[in-house]
Amino acid sequence: NAGVMQNPRHLVRRRGQEARLRCSPMKGHSHVYWYRQLPEEGLKFMVYLQKENIIDESGMPKERFSAEFPKEGPSILRIQQVVRGDSAAYFCASSRQGYEQYFGPGTRLTVT
C-alpha cells in the first residue's frame, strides 16, 4: 500500500529552464494538492486538482506555473523559465473527498 510518490526527489535547474514535478497519489485517492515551502517559511497552498479538473488554483503564481492531473498518469506541476526565487520544497498531497490529506516526501528544487 504505497504512499504518495513524488519524483524527482531533488531537481537542479538553471535559470530559464523548465521544471517538471510529478506526483502519484495514494491508491483510491482522486484528489491531489500541491504546496510549496520556501526556505524559512511555512507551507503554502498552491493548487487543488481532481482528475482532469482544476478545482482551486488560488495559490498559484499567475505566470510560469501550471498544474494538471490527467485521466491517466501522475499529476504534474510545471514551472517554466525558473528563477532563483522558485527554489523551494514542493509537496504533493492526496486524499479521498473530505478526508485527511497524505503528503509525499517532496521535491526539492534548486535553481542555480
Would you say 13 or 31 has its CB closer to other proteins?
31
Shortest Å distance, C-beta 27 to other proteins: 16
Residue 69, classed as helix, strand or coil, is coil
Given the C-alpha cell 483510491, which residue does it identify?
28
> Is position 59 an interface residue for other proteins (rule: CB under 8 A)?
yes
C-alpha 103/C-alpha 26 separation (Å) is: 9
Query: How many helices and strands in the chain, by DSSP H and E?
Result: 0, 11
Would you say 6 or 79 has its CB closer to other proteins?
6
Site residues, other proteins (CB under 8 A): 31, 33, 35, 42-45, 48, 55-56, 58-59, 91, 93, 95, 98-106, 108
